[in-house]
A and B are shown apart, each in its own frame.
Chain A
Amino acid sequence: MFMCLGVPARIEELEGDRATVSLEGTRRRVSVALTPDVKVGDYVLVHAGYAVAVVDEESARETIRLIEEAYGTLEEV
């Protein structure tokens, strides 16, 4: 119920403050009342039926790049 789902959902259709999203291969209806500027094709995080944040793809790529380039270069213990 209160659990935070870490997997982003893709906005497929928008109708007012309701949206159809695809999430891990399934489609479901969520509310976008808390993320009013969302567009079709955006990725959102869903919490208890509500999109609570739009996921920024560029930031995601940057984080992955950072880990690939800057981490794990220390010698193994």
Chain B
Amino acid sequence: MELWKRFKDPALAQKLLQELKGLCQGSSQRPTLMEVCGTHTVALSRTGLREVLSPYLDLRSGPGCPVCVTDDSDIDLMAEVARQPGVIVATYGDMLRVPGSYGTLLDLKAAGARVQLVYSALDALELARENPRDTVVMLGVGFETTAPVAALAVQRAASEGISNFLMLSLHKTIPNALRALLAENSRIDGLILPGHVSAIIGEEPYRFIAEESGVPAVITGFEAVDMLLGIVELVRLIVAGRPEVLNAYRRVVSPDGNPRARALLEEAFRPVAARWRGLGSIPDSGLALAEPFAAYDALQALGLRRPEARPPRRGCRCGEVLRGLIEPAECGLFAKACTPHSPVGPCMVSSEGACAAHYTYGRNG
């Protein structure tokens, strides 16, 4: 069998499952694990692992879906940007259907706002080049995986003198959000750490987790065998009472991450407090443009102010889902007033959202 296919090999998955059953034998309570990354949320449901593992483990989804953790006030800010004359808003597709106080970006587009779907921040830069009389504003959403390309786009705009390109940087960084989360949810016994965020930042930024909170954490890949291996390693640490950070995705994540991407983040951005849905404002968990690129900051250039944080939409419990406090089905709106076709909150909008994953793959899926 080809090397990469071995990470989907049912025989290896079975061995790991056997190991896990052995580890869980005799423990009276199911350990509570949180998968931090939205892709893990989807992959655990899609592969059926969530259901297979449910007798042994309580798996909770975390704050690793970029659209889901975007605060309502920031969604309103995006709408405000879209309403500016002469502005073309460039956005990732997932953001289009998230409802804010003024409806969705798609609603605004229908009402005449210029909203353009892009696949990366560099596509938005290209859009600015093609529309020299307009101002293109990239809605910068995402974590350490997405932010380096946004950094690249801003650097290129500066070096090529493209002045009609702006960035609304709402990028977020994972480590301090985990710190806030662990302070809030004491039920979490172990963290399944995101694979690709880790490929960028490496192992070091997570060290505090074990030291401060005593909760073990394992960097984990996305294939079925990867996920089972990460979970086995994590449960082994929990059972042994050893709060450590391990890397079970070594073929992709090197201890110091991706040095080129890290350098880009450091050059183009500076850490700031960011608002997270469900978690509130967290210090040093967001990325604003660094001083040399201040001219590309959409907030400053358009003279906009961030609106006040608002209470969550009535009945939507996305914030509690993102903290792992409830399962999607515990929300009164789930699968009734709120479905992927007519979503009330972002956890149902995004393909990576816990509510959308649970809806699509079955209530327990």
Instruction: Please give the residue numbers on chain A whose beta carbons come within 8 Å of chain B beta carbons, in ascending order.
Output: 1-8, 31, 33-36, 43, 45, 47-50, 52-53, 55-57, 59-64, 67-68, 71-77
* A74/B226 contact (C-beta < 8 A), A61-B3, A63-B251 known: no
Interface residue B223 (Cβ < 8 Å from any Cβ of A):
yes
A45-B119 CB under 8 A given contacts A2-B142, A52-B258: no
Interface of B, secondary structure class, is helix
Q: Which listed residue (A31, A63, A71) contacts B232, Cβ 8 A?
A: A71
Main secondary structure of the interface of A (DSSP, over half): loop
Interface residues of B in 39-72 (CB under 8 A from A): 39, 42-43, 65-67
Residues 210-222 of chain B: 1 if any A CB is under 8 Å from the residue's CB, otherwise 0? 0000000000011
Of the listed stretches B18-26, B185-193, B279-287, chain A binds B18-26
Pair A2/B66 contact, Cβ less than 8 Å: yes
Contact B22 A74 (CB under 8 A): yes
User: Is there an interface contact between B199 and A6, defined as CB atoms closer than 8 Å?
Assistant: no
Q: How far is the CA of A73 from the CA of B199 in the complex (A)?
A: 31
Give the distance in Å from the alpha carbon of A57 to the alpha carbon of B155 in the complex: 33
Pairs across A and B, CB under 8 Å, 7 listed? A2-B142, A6-B43, A34-B149, A45-B252, A48-B149, A60-B251, A76-B21
Query: Please, how many angstroms separate the alpha-carbon atoms of A2 and B258 in the complex?
Result: 18
- Cα distance A48–B221 when bound, in Å? 17
Q: Closest CB of chain A to B107's CB: distance in Å?
A: 20
CB proximity of B157 to chain A, nearest CB, Å: 15
Would you call A63 and B250 a contact (CB within 8 A)?
A: yes
Cβ-defined partner of B260 (8 Å) among A8, A34, A71: A34
User: Which residues on A sit within 8 Å (CB–CB) of B39?
Assistant: 2-4
A45 to B15, CA, bound (A): 26
Q: Inside 8 A of B274's CB, which chain A residues have their CB?
A: none
Contacts of A67 in B (CB 8 A): 12, 15-16, 225, 229
Residues of B within 8 A of A36 (CB): 260
| Interface membership of B120, Cβ < 8 A | yes
Asked whether any CB of chain A lies closer than 8 Å to the CB of B108, the reply is: no
**B195/A6 in contact, CB under 8 A:** yes
Q: Which B residues are in CB contact (< 8 Å) with A56?
A: 250-252, 254
Return the chain B residue nearest A74 by Cβ. Answer: B22
Determine whether the beta carbon of B145 is less than 8 Å from that of A4. Answer: yes
B:191-242 near A, CB below 8 Å: 194-196, 199-200, 221-223, 225-226, 229, 232
What is the interface of chain B, defined by CB distance below 8 A to chain A?
3-4, 6-7, 12, 14-19, 21-23, 25, 37-39, 42-43, 65-67, 92-94, 119-120, 122, 142-143, 145-146, 148-149, 152, 194-196, 199-200, 221-223, 225-226, 229, 232, 248, 250-254, 258, 260-261, 264, 350-352
Known: A2-B145, A34-B261. A72 touches B119 (CB 8 A): no
Q: Which residues of B contact A60 (CB under 8 A)?
A: 3-4, 6-7, 251
CB-defined contacts of A5 to chain B, threshold 8 Å? 222
> Which residue of A has the minimal Cβ distance to B225?
A67
Q: Tell me if B199 and A45 are in contact (CB < 8 A).
A: yes
* Residues from chain A with Cβ under 8 Å of B92 in the complex: 1-2
Least Cβ–Cβ distance between B245 and chain A, in angstroms: 17
Chain A residues, CB < 8 A from B43: 6
Residue in A closest to B21 when the chains form the complex, CB atoms: A77
Give the CA-CA distance A64 to B65 in the complex, in Å. Answer: 29
Scoring A4, A73, A77 by chain B CB atoms within 10 A of each residue's CB, the highest score goes to A4
Bound-state Cα–Cα, A43 to B364, Å: 35
Report the bound CA distance from A24 to B223 in whole Å.
14
CB distance from A58 to the nearest CB of B (A): 8
Q: Are B196 and A45 in contact (CB under 8 A)?
A: yes
Q: Do A52 and B199 have beta carbons less than 8 Å apart?
A: yes
Q: Are A59 and B258 in contact (CB under 8 A)?
A: no
